[in-house]
Structure 1
Amino acid sequence: MTESPRRRQLLDAAQSVLADGGLKGLTHRAVDRRAGLPEGSCSAYLRTRQALQAALAEHVAGQLLADVDRLADRMRDADEPDGVDAALELFQRWLDQRELLVARLELTMAATRDPGLAQVLETHRVRLVEIVDAIVTAAGKEHGAARAEALVASYDGILLAALLKPDSEHRSFLARSMDLLGTGLAGPSAT
């Protein structure tokens, strides 16, 4: 869905509010304040708390998915079948944009109790698994949906663990973890 500039402003503010204060802090008023807009602006676009959370899940997951889509395109266009360095750059950028990852984690936890939110995130996850499967296939590795799904889940875990480390350790932790993961789950060449 294409977002209007105002809706995007509100969702960017909501992402920031969620990352700073968790789901309990995500209110229409807090979003209005963070966006620097008059009270009632957020509720004019997203009437209920549930609508706000669903739109925010779509917004956050959409940003991450777009980044992975661009990574896959870049790898295909540059003939970089082994995109470890490109993926490392992407993950480092996400860690530098901590709010995006933290918001996604908060929404993922909320989705365990909210089927509607779970459906929004699952739709994006299915697409993400398809992209990862295509990347692994292009790299000439053994592949399949189950392997791609395990890779996605493993990358999620690596990113979560990295969030808990000091900034100065992010890159080395990511490189080491992705190398270990690549030799395991990414599998041998399909030839």
Structure 2
Amino acid sequence: MPQRGNRRELLAEAAIEVLAREGGRGLTHRAIDRQAVVPEGTTKNYYPTRSALFQAAAQYLADQHTAALRELRGRVPDGLTGEHVVALYAAMLRRMATSARAQFLALFELHLEAVRNAEVSAAIGQIVRADVDTAVQLNTAVGRRMSRRGAGLLDAGMLGVALSMLSLPEDLVSEIGMDAPEVLARALLSLGSVEDEPPVEVLRDFAS
């Protein structure tokens, strides 16, 4: 948790916890005050509107996420293999449903808010760009071609799998294989690194 001296970060992290537990409708100034254990009215002093609360939570997540991935990209080890990349993405999927559960539940709420809030959308865009940059670099390092379009598809797939893992009944998660991180990671990476994109004509025929 952020140090008490950094009140804005403290409140933003509290907002994430509230979003994860109570959803977007439960994100109020009073709920954040209670979560952060600060005097009533503190959150409103820093973030006067509900829109500002969403923006603060989104930007905090974006800053934390992009910093972590920047560090990862800066220390890609020699000898990295495709299996290492699979293991990394499988670990990410496990983390989405365990230690980072609150952050991802909040992220899904923020995706909904982003439909109507340009500032929240911009913050989520920072997260996706960092994911895409990382996917391209890691796959390039192991000799696997992945375009930014493919990396975007991989990122959307990871988010969709996380949503299923967190929202579906456990028996259904098991039935449809959403509880097999290694298998899912391998499939999503393969989907994102397809060498040849289908011609536009094929896509038009498929969509018609």
Q: Shared fold (TM-score greater than 0.5)?
A: yes
Q: Distance in 2 between matches of 1:89 and 1:78?
A: 20
* Corresponding letter in the other structure for 1:80: L
Q: Distance in 2 between matches of 1:183 and 1:108?
A: 26
Note if contact 2:69-2:130 (Cα within 8 Å) is conserved in structure 1: no
> Root-mean-square deviation (CA), in Å?
2.6
Instruction: Quote the offset at 1:77 in angstroms.
Output: 2.3
Q: Which segments of 5 or more consecutive residues in structure 2 lack a partner in the other structure?
A: 196-208
Pairing of 1:41-80 with structure 2 (within 5 A): 41-74=42-75, 76-77=76-77, 79-80=79-80
Q: Distance in 2 between matches of 1:56 and 1:104?
A: 9
The percentage of counterpart residues that share the same residue type is 28
* Corresponding letter in the other structure for 1:92: R
Q: Distance in 2 between matches of 1:94 and 1:71?
A: 18
- Cα-to-partner distance string for 1:66-108 (whole Å, 9 max, x where unaligned): 343344445x125324211122223322321211000001001
* Corresponding letter in the other structure for 1:60: L
Counterpart residue number, 1:183: 190
* Corresponding letter in the other structure for 1:59: Y
Q: Distance in 2 between matches of 1:187 and 1:14?
A: 39
Counterpart residue number, 2:125: 122
Q: Distance in 2 between matches of 1:172 and 1:50?
A: 35
Q: Distance in 2 between matches of 1:173 and 1:158?
A: 11
Note if contact 1:32-1:38 (Cα within 8 Å) is conserved in structure 2: yes
Counterpart residue number, 1:161: 164
TM-score by length of 1: 0.84
* Corresponding letter in the other structure for 1:25: G
Counterpart residue number, 1:14: 15
Larger of the two Rg values belongs to structure: 2
Give the number of equivalent residue pairs.
186
TM-score by length of 2: 0.78
Note if contact 1:141-1:187 (Cα within 8 Å) is conserved in structure 2: no
